[in-house]
Structure 1
């Protein structure tokens, strides 16, 4: 008798699961209705008209009050603490490294380049604290190119 009752309950449970599964699939398969058709424009070559009225665009950007040397300093000083660390100085040199790496294997050439950069950093770091102040950094500025004399033809 117990087996018959358990068999009947199991059959009802399977039938209930089947009904829920069937209803769920029917809801998924219906989907959304297609969008309403849009009427084509009367003249496709005509541009839309807009009246800006009293609208006004954003103000043009302001020029920075920083000098050329300060702008150059801040290209290296990533965290804007007004001190250039050795890592900040070296991080901006990847393009120069790629130019020096003739064979493209990223080996010895970088070490040679890093030695030159460290020497340059240590030469500019007058007090030897491992940081460049704006005054120390100013000594690393590239020398201005000599102007060629104008042609006197």
Structure 2
């Protein structure tokens, strides 16, 4: 039974490959027989400037190459929202506001110890996969904040 299935599979594969080869050869013959039309006569006569034709002027000066921003410059620019080359307290804390709002359950703009402890306990319980009451190295590694995916282009 096993051998017959194997043989049937082999024959079917050979037939598929043979059929594909014939189709490929047939398509390549059709492509060889097609003749491309001649280009229109309007494109054949492109005017060319004479030897005494005036130049457009002097070439513009080369632009200086943009320097690569260092890691610290990119980090600084992320916080400097208004691009005045200074980071205000509001600009610095803006990235923390969303995280604070998640912790502030009652929405009074004050974080109590109970709110902090509840969030920490939930995070610990979520990381303790085997529910043993302590974190192994692998479980602790899951508590690290997730990094945002970098964009594929620098646009």
Fold conserved between structures, TM > 0.5: no
Pick 1 or 2: higher relative contact order, CA cutoff 8 A, min separation 6. Answer: 1
Larger Rg: 1
TM-score using structure 1 length: 0.27
TM-score using structure 2 length: 0.27
